[in-house]
Amino acid sequence: MASGGGNNRNGTHRNSLKGTTTTSAASTDKPLSVNSNPSKPAFKNKSSPLTGASSGLRKSSPGSLGGGAAKDDAGVPGRVRVAVRLRPRNAEESVADADFADCVELQPELKRLKLRKNNWDTDTYEFDEVLTEFASQKRVYEVAAKPVVEGVLDGYNGTIMAYGQTGTGKTYTLGRLGEEDTANRGIMVRAMEDILAEVSPEIDSVLVSYLQLYMESLQDLLDPTNDNISIVEEPKSGDVSLPGATLVEIRDQQSFLELLRLGEAHRHAANTKLNTESSRSHALLMVHVKRTVKGREPAHSSDNGNSTSMARSLRPPLVRKGKLVVVDLAGSERIDKSGSDGHTREEAKSINLSLSALGKCINALAENSAHVPVRDSKLTRLLRDSFGGTARTSLVITVGPSPRHRGETASTIMFGQRAMKVENMLKLKEEFDYKSLARRLDIQLDKLIMEHERKQKAFEVEIERITAEAQNRISEAERNYADAVEKERLKYQKDYMESIKKLEEKWMMNQQNQGNERKEQMVHIAEEVAEVKKLLSKETSLRKAAEEEVDNLKSQLAQLKMSEALANSEILKLQKMVEDEVCQKEKLEGEISMLQSQLLHLSFEADETRKRLDRGGPGKVPGGLDSPVSQVRSQLKDSGNGEKASVAKLFEQVGLQKILSLLEAEDADVRIHAVKVVANLAAEETNQQKIVEAGGLKSLLMLLGSSEDETIHRVAAGAIANLAMNEKNQELIMSQGGISLLSTTASHAKDPQTLRMVAGAIANLCGNDKLQTKLRGEGGIKALLEIVKCGHPDVLAQVARGIANFAKCESRASTQGSKTGRSLLIEDGALPWIVQNANSDASPIRRHTELALCHLAQHEVNAKDMISEGALWELVRISQDCPREDIRTLAHRTLASSPDFIAGLKRLRIDY
């Protein structure tokens, strides 16, 4: 590794200091201070720069514990520490260089090294530690190695490396075993002493590998057959491991020394075999320290110190894994590439490859270059963590004093200077040891299972014992109980026997006393017994007979019951049949009455139709020739008197009562049919009496009041009119409020036929002499005068007839002298209507009014009114023009006999 470090080789003390100071300022934790404590060498105790950094690490470590080594925390900055060690002149140098001064001058208190350029000029370099030729091995260990070893024990990786020209004391510094003099023990031995002093052999482990790297081949110094060990890098963590290397667990210093000796012997043998020197190869000692952290809660524990022992036992132990790598590098001197030392040019290149690669990496790191060619050699791959990685690295550069090797010395110094600029990020390798926790728990579990089994067994034995004991106790108690019972039983038996005996004795005594009396009684009793026996046998025979009788009766009863049951079922059957019959009958009756009413209706319709046919033409017949009415009519025509005969037959078959009852039927159609039938019957004089007697008149009057159906009103009024032809019936109609019912019906009527019927009925009533006053009093005349408003000639004819009837009765009463006052017709204002219609075109109207006027004129008291209302003219006309002779004569006679009329005629100048 050529220095080529012209850039860093400063000509002045000042310049070189400046450069170094810059480096110091860049490092935050760099404890090195040129002036801080000159009297106290910085490396002497734990406050030394490297140790100081170590304390700093310890403080910061809890913060980086969380995820253990795997966690990608930032780590703590830690620059590569570089110490320079000067070998004393050896015998040869003492002789050969006797006249020359050393090429280096050390200022350990200032941590400076002066390299003589020539007799008058030097370059000054500052290092972390400057170790003179007098520095003891112990001191070298303490300042250059101990902080790193302590770091490894705390869970950091560490590297201690010696660099320098062959023969300058690298192996002396690192590898001396100190067998001849323990004071000469080198760093490896001392490091292991410190490690073994710190670890606990039960829970911690120290594993060692020892290797040699020569011409890019990695050989196992603990197993010489293994001469091509591969390097495995874990891509995630960047950790380097050598799975093929022998790992020896170290438990004591002695075994370690033996291991080193063995390794050294193998190294020597290998080098002989390869025809090389150990100075051409790199020796690497790797110490893996795994320590369990005692008495410290993990930083992320959340139970605030209240953890139970259970929780504690379930917590995996925290382990720290530190790896110490001690590297005794090959000599840094330039290899003669001419092949003069027995190597070919290619071999020379290969021998130096790793070292020159290391130099390049350090240069790149020192200059913060983006690319660090770590992968260029096996050495740089192996030391990846030591430079620019996470390890704490301490480099000892060894120089000789001889001016003859000034060039190599300068190159070594420049290597050290550049290495000082390399900044590492120290990281704690701490993790939870789940495996050991699992092991521990397994052991604990085994113990518990065993303990449980033991207890279980003891428990079962105890149960068995208790069961046996209980069984014993139970059987003993049972025995005791049986004994006691037996005893008790015997005692009672004995008592019982004794009392029986006593009673028997007593009884015997009593028997003897009573013996004599008894004999007499016995005879008497024997007689009585014989008597009783006789009675008994008699009773028995009687009883037997009675029992036979009872049996007999019982069997009869059973028979009767049977026949009764039969009869009952028969009765039930018959009842059912009767009910069915009744049902059937009711149904049939209903149907019959329906049919009857329909038939009656048809008959009525037929009758009506027939009448109309008789009266007018066929045009008045409603419906076509095919209608049922027309059919009936045709049948009636065919059969002549058959229709009347059929109504009469019906009357016979159904009975008047039944027909009248239908007037109150719920079905409106039935009511209508019934009233038509009744009306039809009432038209026959022979039936009228029967209808009235059966209450038909009353029902018809009621229908006028209760029904709102105009057809019913019309037909009922017609029927009433027919019935009102009979004098007796007229009184009945009047006494049952007929006038008011008829006038109400008239006031609601819309059909002139209804009014005709009502007017006809009233007209009939008007003809009764006895009812004049009552009829007038109940509004009969007024009702007639209301009816005339309809104007229908048929109606007016009926009204006229009524008025004529009334006037005739009045005139009869006046003649007889039972009536004296003015006519009630005039009183009720009927005169104007009479006068008005006296000359009507309709002959029935004219005839009745003419008659009425004549009757009114019979009585002198009416004359004045008649004259004033213009009746005189009508009377004159009647006396001359009336086609009926009797009326004509009556009018004439009246005019001629009445003084008022004669005066009136005179006054009106009517020539009569």
Name which of 396 and 807 has its Cβ closer to Mg ion. 396
**What are the helix and strand counts (H, E) for the chain?**
33, 17
Name which of 88 and 779 has its Cβ closer to ligand ADP. 88
What is the footprint of Mg ion within residues 156-175 (CB under 5 A)?
170-171
Cβ–Cβ under 8 Å, residues 53 and 32: no
167 assigned to a ligand binding site: yes
CA 415 to chain centre: 78
Distance CA(657)–CA(651), nearest Å, equals: 10
393 assigned to a ligand binding site: no
Task: Let me know if 899 is exposed, middle or buried by CB neighbors in 10 A (0-12, 13-18, 19+).
Answer: exposed
Q: State the nearest-atom distance from the C-beta of 284 to ligand ADP, in Å.
A: 15
Question: What does DSSP assign to residue 423?
Answer: E
Name which of 400 and 718 has its Cβ closer to ligand ADP. 400
Tokens read off for 201: 């052999």
Name which of 89 and 658 has its Cβ closer to ligand ADP. 89
171 assigned to a ligand binding site: yes
Name which of 408 and 778 has its Cβ closer to ligand ADP. 408
Does position 170 interact with ligand ADP (CB under 6 A)? The reply is yes
Give the total residue count for the chain.
Answer: 912
Which residues, in sequence order, are CB contacts of 475 under 8 Å at separation 6+? none
168 assigned to a ligand binding site: yes
Q: State the nearest-atom distance from the C-beta of 352 to Mg ion, in Å.
A: 16
Site mask, ligand ADP, residues 709-748, x = CB under 6 A?
----------------------------------------
Name which of 164 and 696 has its Cβ closer to ligand ADP. 164
Distance CA(132)–CA(433), nearest Å, equals: 45
The helix (run of H) or strand (run of E) holding residue 107 is strand 104-107
Does position 332 interact with ligand ADP (CB under 6 A)? The reply is no
Cβ–Cβ under 8 Å, residues 761 and 716: no
Does position 185 interact with ligand ADP (CB under 6 A)? The reply is no
Give the count of residues interacting with ligand ADP (CB under 6 A): 14
Question: What does DSSP assign to residue 788?
Answer: G
Does position 276 interact with Mg ion (CB under 5 A)? The reply is no
Distance CA(787)–CA(795), nearest Å, equals: 8
If DSSP states are collapsed to H, E and C, what string results for 447-476?
HHHHHHHHHHHHHHHHHHHHHHHHHHHHHH
620 assigned to a ligand binding site: no
172 binds, among ligand ADP, Mg ion, none (CB under 5 to 8 A by kind): ligand ADP
β-sheet bridge partners, residue 116: 122
Name the residue among 879, 883, 902 with its Cα closest to residue 892: 879
Choosing from 5, 56, 88, 407, the residue that interacts with ligand ADP (CB under 6 A) is: 88
Q: State the nearest-atom distance from the C-beta of 168 to ligand ADP, in Å.
A: 5
What is the footprint of ligand ADP within residues 390-409 (CB under 6 A)?
398
Question: What does DSSP assign to residue 223?
Answer: -
Cβ–Cβ under 8 Å, residues 401 and 87: yes
Alpha helices in 736-837 (DSSP H): 738-748, 752-766, 772-777, 780-787, 793-816, 824-827, 831-837
Point out which span in 162-170, 564-572, 772-780, 837-845 binds ligand ADP (CB under 6 A): 162-170
Q: What are phi and psi of 864, to 5 degrees?
A: -60, -45
Site mask, ligand ADP, residues 25-64, x = CB under 6 A?
----------------------------------------
Distance CA(295)–CA(407), nearest Å, equals: 54
Please give the angle made by the CA atoms of 263, 266 and 269, to the nearest 5 degrees. 150
Point out which span in 160-168, 296-304, 773-781, 872-880 binds ligand ADP (CB under 6 A): 160-168
Give the count of residues interacting with Mg ion (CB under 5 A): 2
Point out which span in 116-124, 169-177, 294-302, 740-748 binds ligand ADP (CB under 6 A): 169-177
Q: State the nearest-atom distance from the C-beta of 180 to ligand ADP, in Å.
A: 11
Q: State the nearest-atom distance from the C-beta of 397 to ligand ADP, in Å.
A: 11
849 assigned to a ligand binding site: no
Q: Which residue has the tokens 């409603």?
A: 622
Does position 279 interact with ligand ADP (CB under 6 A)? The reply is yes
Does position 281 interact with Mg ion (CB under 5 A)? The reply is no
Choosing from 30, 79, 81, 87, the residue that interacts with ligand ADP (CB under 6 A) is: 87
Which residues, in sequence order, are CB contacts of 70 under 8 Å at separation 6+? 237, 431
168 binds, among Mg ion, ligand ADP, none (CB under 5 to 8 A by kind): ligand ADP
Name which of 170 and 320 has its Cβ closer to ligand ADP. 170
Q: Which residue has the tokens 């019936």?
A: 729
Choosing from 169, 401, 760, 802, the residue that interacts with ligand ADP (CB under 6 A) is: 169
Q: State the nearest-atom distance from the C-beta of 289 to ligand ADP, in Å.
A: 26
User: CB neighbours (10 Å) of residue 613?
Assistant: 15
Name which of 409 and 768 has its Cβ closer to Mg ion. 409
What are the start-end ranges of the E strands in 554-640?
none
Q: State the nearest-atom distance from the C-beta of 366 to Mg ion, in Å.
A: 26
Choosing from 3, 51, 171, 849, the residue that interacts with ligand ADP (CB under 6 A) is: 171
Q: Which residue is nearest to Mg ion (CB)?
A: 171
Name which of 103 and 853 has its Cβ closer to ligand ADP. 103
87 binds, among Mg ion, ligand ADP, none (CB under 5 to 8 A by kind): ligand ADP
Name which of 134 and 481 has its Cβ closer to ligand ADP. 134
Tokens read off for 575: 């009842």
Name which of 171 and 680 has its Cβ closer to Mg ion. 171
166 assigned to a ligand binding site: yes
Choosing from 21, 23, 55, 166, the residue that interacts with ligand ADP (CB under 6 A) is: 166
Q: State the nearest-atom distance from the C-beta of 184 to ligand ADP, in Å.
A: 8
Name the residue among 192, 75, 181 with its Cα closest to residue 136: 181
Choosing from 172, 256, 651, 833, the residue that interacts with ligand ADP (CB under 6 A) is: 172
Q: Which residue is nearest to ligand ADP (CB)?
A: 169
Choosing from 52, 147, 155, 167, the residue that interacts with ligand ADP (CB under 6 A) is: 167
Q: State the nearest-atom distance from the C-beta of 318 to Mg ion, in Å.
A: 39
Name all contacts of 664-670 with Cβ < 8 Å and 24+ positions apart: 664/699, 668/709, 669/597, 670/593, 670/594, 670/597
Distance CA(440)–CA(445), nearest Å, equals: 8
Name which of 170 and 378 has its Cβ closer to ligand ADP. 170
Name the residue among 628, 787, 614, 659 with its Cα closest to residue 717: 787
Please give the angle made by the CA atoms of 131, 135 and 139, to the nearest 5 degrees. 90
Q: State the nearest-atom distance from the C-beta of 169 to ligand ADP, in Å.
A: 3
Q: State the nearest-atom distance from the C-beta of 278 to Mg ion, in Å.
A: 6
Cβ–Cβ under 8 Å, residues 763 and 798: yes
β-sheet bridge partners, residue 217: 214
Distance CA(742)–CA(299), nearest Å, equals: 123
Q: Which residue has the tokens 């609601």?
A: 748
165 assigned to a ligand binding site: yes
88 binds, among ligand ADP, Mg ion, none (CB under 5 to 8 A by kind): ligand ADP
Name the residue among 216, 225, 209, 208 with its Cα closest to residue 266: 225
167 binds, among ligand ADP, Mg ion, none (CB under 5 to 8 A by kind): ligand ADP
Name which of 171 and 411 has its Cβ closer to Mg ion. 171
Distance CA(259)–CA(411), nearest Å, equals: 34
Contacts with ligand ADP by CB under 6 A lie at 87-88, 90, 164, 166-172, 279, 331, 398
Q: Which residues are annotated as a binding site?
A: 164-171
Q: Which residues are annotated as a binding site for ATP?
A: 164-171
Contacts with Mg ion by CB under 5 A lie at 170-171
